[in-house]
Amino acid sequence: MTTPMNVGRHQETERRRQRVRAALTSAARDGTVLTVSAIARTARVDRTFFYRHRDLLEELHTAAREPTGPTPGHGPTVTQVSLHADLANAGARAARLAARVQQLEKRLSHVLGEQAWRESGLGAPADIDEHRRTITQLEQQNVELASRLEEQEGELEAARAANRELTRALNQRG
């Protein structure tokens, strides 16, 4: 049984559905955001209206996936998928740049730290390799001189012993 109240409710529901479709068409044409909240606000309906009328919700999701912006042939088309891909690419690029910045900051910190260490006078001199080579040469020279000294001391001792023998032999003859 149809009562005037039921008829009025169905007519009001149909008017709301028409407002939702008009809002969807307008938003798709203008390139505005296609979300349940935005279309519900424009059509002056509650968001739950979409969930009670699944066909309207499916129309909204279909319209959101379709290209928006310039008409075909007049430039690139923009879809929600392409926008998500652009966002993901931008996020990945930002992560790479952040890692590079961190790497450069670490390198700069290391270089500045070494410079400050050298300038403070606490660090090793810049020509430390030259000093090490000099030390090695001096140590080798020291070893050579020590062996020559030891050899000459041996010769001196032998000369003294020969001198004592000669002196003793001369003293016994005369």
- Say yes or no to pLDDT of 125 above 80: no
CA 77 → CA 32, 55, 72, distances in Å?
14, 26, 7
Sorted by where each begins, the domain ranges of the chain are 12-70, 79-123, 127-174
Q: What is the pLDDT of residues 135-165, one digit of tens each?
A: 999 999 999 999 999 999 999 999 999 999 9
Rounded to whole angstroms, the Cα distance separating 169 from 129 reads: 60
Q: Which pTM does this prediction carry?
A: 0.41
Average predicted confidence (pLDDT) for the chain = 87
Query: What is the predicted pLDDT for the residue at 102?
Result: 96
Q: Copy the structure tokens of residue 142.
A: 């020291």
